[in-house]
Amino acid sequence: MVQIGYTMMTEQAGPRQLVDHVMHAEDVGFDFSVASDHASPWLRAQGHSPYVWSVLGAAAQATSEIPLMTFVTCPTMRYHPAVVAQKAATLQLLSGGRFRLGLGSGENLNERIVGDWPPADVRLEMLGEAVEIIRELFRGEHVSRRGGHFTVDSARLWDLPDEPPPIGIAVSGERSCSLAGRLADVMIAVQPERALTESFERAGGAGKPRIGQMALCYDTDREVAVRRAHEQFKWFGMGWKVNSELPHPDAFEAATRYVRPEDVAEAIPCGDDPEAVVEAARGFVDAGFTEVALVQIGGNAQHDFLEWAEDKLLPQLHALGGDEAVAA
């Protein structure tokens, strides 16, 4: 049975709201949760970007069972990998072992606030080195190294969980799949492409979880849902190569000025038809993903969505996969 997750999207809600939302998501039966780690929203209309690690610490205390995950943290510029390791180990302790550390090579939108934005090949090199440092610290080692990108001087984690957090790595192409297959416990992607899961498996990821993420916009009035999705998520269809490079919400606004509401409605399920969401999620399952995290668009539209999900959506989504999910 495919696992269905709930997304705490920090770009569209404040910290207290986010904790309230994930508590409700646990109550209605979501299998896991993920949270974005941003310094800025994609568009000004979203209007938020709290520090996700504080949110997750609060969520770890406010919930009791639902797994938590960063989706994803960039451990190379805004945060040094040794600091990420300390944060992740602490959150694993606070949550009683419910945390997974999702990592990626980052977006200019977030990482530019502390300096330059290197080319994609350099970002992947940095990510690989960062994961190695985090793994060493998770083992309880004293780490001193002067690598190609990072210096660590006699670092150690003094509070370690019995089991370190599994590490997920976000992928978008062959090179990132190769890195994830070699270094990750979990694959993360936002495109329902079998080429990604197959590349991950060839690189060493066979049998490991593969998490996808998809957006939807629930509302009983479909026109309201389409307008909200267009206002807040018209950037979503530009592709990762574009999304990772634009530096500011105003740049995303300019890049999407010709995107029409009907264009967004074609790409994102809008309204209150559970079959449309199930069909979109099926694309991930058919591509070999074992888990799918949902993003409900609109920070003030979460609780209505969660009630609808409990009653109408989750039973159908949990029926997805069957033999295909087990085989994957």
Q: Is 308 helix (H, G, I), strand (E, B) or coil?
A: helix
Question: What residues have CB less than 8 Å from 38, skipping those under 6 apart?
Answer: 10, 11, 49, 52, 109, 110
> Is 107 annotated in the active site?
yes
- Residues comprising the chain, all counted: 328
For 141-178, b/e burial (b = at least 16 CB within 10 A) is: eebeeeeebbebeebebeebbeebbbbbbbbbbeebbb
Q: Which of the residues 107, 111, 125, 129 is marked catalytic?
A: 107
* Catalytic residue selected from 11, 24, 26, 38: 38
Is 142 an annotated catalytic residue? no
Residue given tokens 């939302």 in the structure block: 21
Task: Please name the amino acid found at residue 168.
Answer: G
In this structure, what are the phi and psi dihedrals at residue 210, rounded to the nearest 5 degrees? -130, 115
Q: Which has the closest alpha carbon to 191: 174, 173, 218?
A: 173
> How many angstroms from the chain centroid is the CA of residue 159?
26
What DSSP state is assigned to residue 78?
Answer: T
With 0-12 / 13-18 / 19 or more C-beta atoms within 10 angstroms meaning exposed / middle / buried, residue 258 is exposed
Please report how the helices 120-138 and 174-183 are oriented relative to each other, as an axis angle in degrees rounded to 10.
10
List, as one string, the DSSP characters of 222-271: HHHHHHHHHHHHTTGGG-HHHHTT--SHHHHHHHTTT--HHHHHHHS-EE
Retrieve residue 110's tokens: 């977030």
- Closest by alpha carbon to 113, among 248, 253, 255? 248
Active centre residues (catalytic): 38, 107
